[in-house]
Amino acid sequence: MYTLDNPKYKEARRRAADLVKKMSLKSKIVQLTMFMVDENTYNPEHVEEDGEMLAGRCGTLLAATGIDRLNKYQKTSLECTPDSIPLISGCDVIHGYATTMPIPLALSCTLEPKIVRDCSAVAGKEATVEGVSWTFAPMVDIARDARWGRVAESFGEDKYVASKMAEASVRGFQEDAGILSCLKHYVAYSACEGGRDYNGCEMSDQTLFNTFLPPFKAGIDAGAATVMSSFNEINGVPCSGSRKMLTDILRGVLGFDGFVVSDYDSVNELQNHGYAKDEKDAVLKGYGAGVDVLMLGNLYNRHLPALVAEGKISEEQIDASVERILAAKYMLGVMDEPFFTSEGKGGWLTEEYREIARNAAKRSFVLLENDGILPLIPSEWAGKKIGLTGPVSNEGDSVLGCWASAKNPAKTVLIKDAMEKAYPDSEIVFTNGVCFKREHSNPEESLEILKDCDVIVACMGEHARESGEATSKTCLDLPRDQIEYLKGLFSLGVPVVLLVSAGRPLIMTDFVNRAAAILYIWDPGTECGNAVCDVLTGDYNPAGKTTISFPHRSGQCPVYYDHKMTGRPTIGIPNRTFESKYIDCPVGPLYPFGYGKSYTTFEYTDAEISSDTMERGGSVTVSCTVTNTGKYAGEEAAQLYVRDVVGSITRPVCELKGYDKFCLEPGESHRVSFTLTEDDLAFWNADMEYVAESGDFICRIAPDSGAEVKKLKFTLE
């Protein structure tokens, strides 16, 4: 772990400090530079003045993979670097490497940090086979706006869930796989105006500290080695040039002791923001703010020597940066053994890794609607016709999602193939209907083929290329041709089970009362087909919970559960005409945060609180009984929500403070219990003091953030 209380890290820092004392200024600055490399531009024998990748001119590589290739670069770099300091390579290993896991947003819907840790560990282990030492993950941005394409990479809209998943991912990458993790994008990158990627935001320090910083703090406390500075500006200052964000808060308040890497070209882009007048000024403001490593480009090599000579950047600051970078290299072991090997590191797409991917996928699915048609138990459907249609049903690329590193669509388990195996005694009637490549679509013909089926499984969604970086949207509807095709399917009078694969919440409003069931499978990864059939057949009862709210319409965005009340709320004041509302759409989400159905049903009863007062330094215990009242065994995640009724600054309508996930047999009950302490009630107030204020609090244990259950009250003295 990359914390100063770890003896191994202390020793790495000591060795790094000793080496820094022997290095020239030029050699130090080399360690602050990262270049992207490919076989066409890398030429160690040719020196370019414009700063292309050169041996001995950088300390890290971007997206360079392959043991033989990296060892070739390593040999040349060691020979050309006066201090023989080895290179390391960083890549975007986001949700799997060769074995593609579900996207992070899907993983968060499991509400199981262990699954996130296991998936991160597999991703890291497979990446090390290719010589990768550093991943630019996890992304811990709080995602409140589904228009923003990078919600797919997030752990959702809630700080409590995101913090748990951030910690788990960091430990999976670093402790289990042995590669550096990177918390990104620091900070408030996801709060972009209009949901438009790279856009700026205006945000109070209270919102920053209360909502957006907690997942970063959790990752730092877990020992994250690196942090990535974001593209966006916040309150008029680009984050990659903000000393307040990168030094005062990140290092001073959050206690981060690793090194900061810029996002791709973000220091150079300080000029585009109108924050730096030229390259040299961008380096002064970016490095001066706290960006240790420049991702892409030669600006540090080109301008830092002059800035040091002019006294604008101190060599002591450079020493501190290099010490942090070298300490990470010592921790990785490359300082002692610089050449990479794949021996003893396992392989790719092993049965073990596939099983982890399959388990993660099926546990991430969220059952949004079900009129009782699911599960489709194979024995009950023997001799019947099951229609299968839609662009996702026979597609192996899109379901891998955005940022799928070393993806191999040919290895994806297709829904069509898996269903043919899962229902050997049924007739699977397959037809494309509509395809992502529309020239292959045949909607009219497909409707004719499917009209005599007993049930239709329609696999719809957005293509993976519609989520991820630079894929912001103003319309979150399914593609128009899919909507029209679904209308045709509904008109057949055959029950339609709608499966939706996507990297963000899409608008489901028009399908709620028309589909017999809606199962949201996100972008599930390599084991897509098997995981889908695990759930359709009833071998696994879905238990995923939404970690991002689903809007009724795109125009609601951003919509999130822990919003403020306003002076004219839509609830609590009867017969008020002028409310904070829409005249054409409900205010709340279609599916709230924490929502997810099951094949069984759960009843929440006997809620109670241990005391109606909490003393300073004390606690109260909130509990209730959850009973499985249905006919299937199933898992439930009971969630604790707390509202601070009156504060010195306005407080959210509720906040998640914990959850308990468990499995119950039919008729079985479980007593859920949560203990709240004063620290659980604390927040950053108007004076930027972290305090729990005296007053009344309302709490409830519920199946989701919007559920109406018994509310309990206590007072903090």
- The torsion angle over the Cα atoms of residues 573, 574, 577 and 582, rounded to 10 degrees, is 70
CA end-to-end distance (rounded Å), the chain:
39
- Which residues does 289 contact at the CB level (< 8 Å), separation at least 6? 240, 241, 242, 243, 245, 246, 247
- Which residues does 619 contact at the CB level (< 8 Å), separation at least 6? 675, 676, 677, 678
φ/ψ of residue 456, rounded to 5: -125, 125
Six token digits for residue 315: 């060599």
The closest of 629, 653, 630, 657 to 643, measured between CA atoms, is: 653
The closest of 67, 73, 82 to 42, measured between CA atoms, is: 73
Per DSSP, the three-state class of 669 is strand
CB-CB neighbours of 668 under 10 Å: 12
d(CA 715, CA 666): 37
Per DSSP, the three-state class of 573 is coil
Contact yes or no for 464/404 (Cβ under 8 A) = yes
Six token digits for residue 393: 């049903």
Alpha helices in 492-599 (DSSP H): 528-536
d(CA 660, CA 636): 8
Strand partners, 637: 661
- The torsion angle over the Cα atoms of residues 551, 555, 558 and 559, rounded to 10 degrees, is -30
380: Cα separation from own chain's centroid? 38
Per DSSP, the three-state class of 211 is helix
Contact yes or no for 123/360 (Cβ under 8 A) = no
CA angle 41, 47, 52 (to 5 degrees): 40
Host H or E run for residue 446: helix 443-450
d(CA 475, CA 452): 34
Whole-number Cα distances in Å, 203 to 262, 468, 472: 21, 24, 21
Host H or E run for residue 608: strand 602-609
Q: Catalytic residue positions? A: 263
The closest of 702, 374, 357 to 545, measured between CA atoms, is: 702
d(CA 182, CA 259): 9
d(CA 568, CA 581): 9
